[in-house]
Amino acid sequence: MIPNKHILIVDDVVDNIQVVMNILQEDNYEFSFADNGNKALSILEDENTDFDLILLDIMMPGMDGYSLCKQLKTSPRWQDVPVIFLTARVDVESISKGFEVGCVDYITKPFHANEILARVKNHILLYRAKTFLKQQNIDLETKANYAQIRLLTELEDNQKEMITMLTEVLESTSDETGKHVVRMAETSRLLATYYPSLNEDDAEIIFHAAPMHDIGKITVPPEILHKPGRYTEDEFEIMKHHTSNAYELLCKSQRKYMKAAAIIAYEHHEKWNGTGYPRGLKGTDIHIYGRIVALADVFDALTHHRRYKEAWTIEDAVDYIKDHRGSQFDPELVDIFLEHLDEFIAIEEI
């Protein structure tokens, strides 16, 4: 039986706590609350209470939200529990500081019911998924061969189900459809199939892991994620965090699909010439999974309508890939793409 979801709300204004509880009651959450940081720590020290999420005010007398969050992230028991800041401060500096001390998101005051419901639901789902994955990292070496194979198959099926769940969370917050994920995964598998040093297992892994490439965008503030125009420099810096945020979520798993997804999410914005992000990796220092998904994702994005752009023609998209051979994309992958172009175009018609 899955336990009820338990939320800790910390705010020095009791009315704010009541408003949040009233909004969230329709989803049957359990609540604890505190009006300052020290009371919150006392509640968290109770060994019989576990929390799925902490909603934390920033500006409080005594211990402010930044300090409390930073302290929580040093505790083995609470370091993985997601913290969402409740704040009226929406400047980039305050938001960036929140991410630096360990928060996963923020909700602005005055509160909007739909925003609170959606963000709380998404982050609790992600936290429970992460907890589930950690629990699956059990030692198989002492099992009999048959039992190992059977259990491994079950774990891989669980990983695939978890990837589907997390991908649905991403789709609910973006303008990308499930068809984008399907096309991009198929294109990635086809590139892997023709890449000389990869085998069928690699192609299968990348097919299931590729849909997780942008899962980190769930941590990007919606007003930045859905901004219709160009990003400012500060906004783009926040956007780039989606790669490392996703890696932090996924890297603790030792299972092959999640390990691959962590690599892909981390490196699919790197560029062959070293001008990409988040680490400026160059050439073959970028994992082949990241290089493959980088090409597949760009080709599909160019050839389909997005909120901020019209769809390009196939010809223009292919020319873009050609023009960026050896700068943005792995030259060998571009050659494979061009050699089997009809097959890749057929995927884009799905």
What is the side-by-side strand order in the sheet with 53-57?
30-34, 6-10, 53-57, 83-87, 105-108
Query: Does the annotation mark 217 as catalytic?
Result: yes
Please enumerate in sequence order all residues whose Cβ is within 8 A of that of 305, keeping only pairs 6 or more positions apart, or say none. 311
Please state, in angstroms and rounded to a whole number, the distance separating the CA atoms of residues 313 and 307. Answer: 17
- Contact between 263 and 290 (Cβ < 8 Å): yes
Please state, in angstroms and rounded to a whole number, the distance separating the CA atoms of residues 192 and 211. Answer: 15
| 215 residue type, one letter | I
Closest by alpha carbon to 339, among 194, 205, 181, 129? 194
How many residues does the structure list for the chain? 350
DSSP, residue by residue, 296-326 = HHHHHHHTS-BTTBPPPPHHHHHHHHHHTBT
Q: Which of 70, 109, 134, 217 is catalytic?
A: 217
Please state, in angstroms and rounded to a whole number, the distance separating the CA atoms of residues 162 and 257. Answer: 10
Other residues' Cβ atoms within 10 Å of the Cβ of residue 125: 17
∠ CA 141-142-146, nearest 5°, is 85
Please enumerate in sequence order all residues whose Cβ is within 8 A of that of 170, keeping only pairs 6 or more positions apart, or say none. 176, 214, 215, 217, 218
Please enumerate in sequence order all residues whose Cβ is within 8 A of that of 215, keeping only pairs 6 or more positions apart, or say none. 166, 167, 169, 170, 246, 249, 250, 261, 265
H or E, element range at 100: helix 92-101
Please state, in angstroms and rounded to a whole number, the distance separating the CA atoms of residues 195 and 192. Answer: 5
Residues with active-site annotation: 217
